[in-house]
Structure 1
Amino acid sequence: MSGTDFGTEPDAGTVYLVGSGPGDPELLTCKARRLLEQADFVLHDKLPGPKIIDLLPDDRRKDVGKRAHGDRTPQSEINELLVQHARDGQSVVRLKGGDSFVFGRGGEEAEYLAAHGIPFEVVPAVTSAVAAPAVAGIPVTHRDHASSVSFVTGHEDPTKPESTVNWAALADTGGTIVVLMGVTRLPDYTDALLEAGMPAETPVALVERATWPNQQVATGTLETIVDARDSVGIEPPAITVIGDVAGTRESVVEFLANESAAGASDSATSTRE
């Protein structure tokens, strides 16, 4: 199905696919903040963070993320809501955590909108895949440690018959691996990397709710990070950083001025050997 199937809706409003960054309102782009202030309606998940969601008037927003008891708004319903509000002539913001085009389904929503003749604009953002490690004092690349970085989802489409992530190939890259949405499956992919020959002493860090007031960090090795996760109590949403760069945190954390990251370091448990 292509945009020519419907043609452009003559009176449709515009949908803005907006990334909110990792959660700190000060890391919203100027354009994202302006669009949120001007939007007729906002469809958001919980990942933008409480401080950003609190900026939105209750009568102009709808939570379409995960709710109590594990209920979720189906993506098909979100797509229809975007089209419905736009066809009513409204300016609509679809607000996602991080960048909407990095494991944020922004590409799927863009295709759906185009197929239904709805004009849309993509508003890039600071991706959590880079920002979360950074505020914890971890660069995803470093001249002495990593010349490449791979971004991987830890939560693939459950309808897939098997994982499409080649963990064995990633183990051979020699660069940094950043796993998004991978807290629950941490034992699975750390075991896969170990089986593929990645050294057990490879540094690993977990950064939960980066830039939020309740940010937490846990550090360890490929062999010990599951115990570190459980000791600190890391829960989703969190980013996993695997590779030598994760070990650089120890040399900088004492002087790290990021307020939330400095607070998180007090609760972090290091199980490196």
Structure 2
Amino acid sequence: MGKVYLVGAGPGAADLITVRGARILGMADVVLHDALIEPELLALCGQARLVAVGKRCGRHATAQHFINKQLVDCARRHAVVVRLKGGDPMLFGRADEEMRALEAAGIEFDVVPGITAAIASAALLRRSLTLRGVARSVAFATRSRAPESDEIRAQVEADSLVYYMGRDSADAIAAELIAHGKPAHTPVAIVEACSTPRERHTSMTLDQMAAGAARAWFDPAQPSLLLIGEAFRALLEAGLSPEVRQALQAGRLAA
């Protein structure tokens, strides 16, 4: 039996993977990797057999049960198997299912954390997710499948709210948050392809996102993140005229 490593690749840039993650990639016999892993990261494991098992919204994807089976099969044939996941394996990465499959097969595994996209995006924006007197709580979320559930109410209560995989439902996310009490003028920062040469970002208000402003801006080929909350107001106001900025600060106008 070999050993499986669930390695966090980080947000994209090859030099943002951990030292431990890079070292294990250099030892790997086979690497099962997500779709969004940058080529520069895969170059760190040039000796390994590469197997693409990623999932992309709206595209053909490898079923999770088949990924689990591949991990088990590879561990029975190779000494070092890496499951390379974007960001951190333990956040929206289906890591639990893979770990339970490995446990059931009696295969040893280890988890190597990675920098998740929310933290990397906050660094790119130069805006902390927490801010004294403004943001004391942070929630990482995906869109709830039940708009009236407690999940939505909990997300509304978070001072800083980060949505993963929210590109295709950004309008609906904003509308649901407003309907459950989030102020319509709440700032939203959107980051695409964080830490890669393609990275870019924009800002808008929650009601603008509900009206389709984000949909018009997105590049559907790039991964994106929605960061919502007063901690990002300075980004929103930076490009506004003094009159509009003053009105926003007084709470009289939604950008």
User: Does the pair score TM above 0.5?
Assistant: yes
| Residues 20 and 28, structure 1, Cα contact 8 Å, conserved in 2 | yes
2: distance between equivalents of 1:132 and 1:23?
A: 11
2: distance between equivalents of 1:92 and 1:250?
A: 44
Question: Equivalent residue for 1:263?
Answer: none
Question: Pick from 195, 199, 205: which aligns with 2:179?
Answer: 195
2: distance between equivalents of 1:111 and 1:220?
A: 41
Shift of 1:74: 0.4
Question: Pick from 202, 206, 216: which aligns with 1:218?
Answer: 202
Q: What runs of 5+ residues in structure 2 fail to find an aligned partner?
A: 240-253
| Residues 41 and 90, structure 1, Cα contact 8 Å, conserved in 2 | no
| Residues 29 and 48, structure 2, Cα contact 8 Å, conserved in 1 | no
Report 1:15-34 matches (<5 A).
Answer: 15-34=4-23
Question: Equivalent residue for 1:8?
Answer: none
Report 1:1-273 matches (<5 A).
Answer: 12-57=1-46, 60-66=49-55, 70-154=59-143, 162=146, 166-171=151-156, 173-225=157-209, 227-235=212-220, 236-249=222-235, 273=255
Residues 102-153 of structure 1: CA deviation (Å, up to 9, x unaligned): 1111121111101110100010111112212321222111113200001102
In the superposition, the TM-score normalised over structure 2's length comes to 0.85
Residues 196-221 of structure 1: CA deviation (Å, up to 9, x unaligned): 12111000011111001111212100
2: distance between equivalents of 1:150 and 1:68?
A: 23
2: distance between equivalents of 1:142 and 1:83?
A: 44
1: distance between equivalents of 2:163 and 2:56?
A: 23
2: distance between equivalents of 1:36 and 1:250?
A: 40
Cα RMSD over matched residues? 2.3
Q: How many residues align?
A: 238
Q: Do the aligned partners of residues 174 and 110 (structure 1) sit closer, same or farther apart at CA in structure 2, a change above 3 Å counting? A: closer
| Residues 29 and 78, structure 2, Cα contact 8 Å, conserved in 1 | no
SS of 1:33's equivalent in the other structure is helix
| Residues 139 and 158, structure 2, Cα contact 8 Å, conserved in 1 | no
SS of 1:198's equivalent in the other structure is coil
| Identical pairs, percent | 37
